[in-house]
Amino acid sequence: MKKHTPTAPLNSALKDKEIYLEFLRKEVEKGTNKTLSQLKDSQSEENLFYTALKHVTTTKKAICKALDIGIDNACRYKRRYEKENLLVQSIDEVICQYTGNLAHNLTTSPAKFEELRKTNQLKLF
């Protein structure tokens, strides 16, 4: 006897993920006034990672999926930009809209640095 598993919630979750990735792509295109294809043709992957995070604040996994950037490469880019004080990671973890897991938001927009450096956690001591 075959076990029946519902597919509607799974399909809905996959659809929600794609909608979020498309939102990220559109925000990057809107912010740069260039199509994603134009950006990929004119910039290195590392520069694309940096440029995209100027226009969206999101998790590393989400931006990588949206822009087809290798996660291992993104780890190197993130580390380099952090060392140069060009990228800030949120103090608090948030629920990633792509994975549903806890993760830190990233930005390369100086206007958002302070916001991400603030914690929402209550201090116990």
Q: Within a domain: residue 106? A: yes
Q: What is the pLDDT confidence band of residue 3, given thresholds at 50, 70 and 90?
A: low
Q: Within a domain: residue 125? A: no
For 107, the domain range is 8-117
**Strand, coil or helix: what is 103?**
strand
For residue 121, the model assigns a pLDDT of 66
Q: Within a domain: residue 1? A: no
Q: Within a domain: residue 42? A: yes
Q: Which of 6-15, 26-35, 64-73, 82-91 has the lowest mean pLDDT?
A: 6-15
DSSP tag of 112: G
φ, ψ (nearest 5 deg) of residue 72: -65, -40
Q: Does residue 90 surpass a pLDDT of 80?
A: yes
Q: Within a domain: residue 3? A: no
For residue 13, the model assigns a pLDDT of 72
φ, ψ (nearest 5 deg) of residue 25: -60, -45
Q: Does residue 94 surpass a pLDDT of 70?
A: yes
Q: How many domains does the chain have?
A: 1
Domain CATH for 112: 1.10.10
Q: Does residue 28 surpass a pLDDT of 60?
A: yes
Gap between the Cα atoms of 78 and 25, Å rounded: 19
Q: What's the burial of 17, exposed, middle or buried (CB within 10 Å: 0-12/13-18/19+)?
A: middle
Gap between the Cα atoms of 77 and 70, Å rounded: 11
Segment 20-35 mean pLDDT:
97
User: Percent of the chain beyond pLDDT 70?
Assistant: 88
Q: Within a domain: residue 73? A: yes
For residue 114, the model assigns a pLDDT of 94
User: Percent of the chain beyond pLDDT 90?
Assistant: 81
CA angle centred on 94, ends 85 and 35, rounded to 5°? 65
Q: Does residue 72 surpass a pLDDT of 80?
A: yes
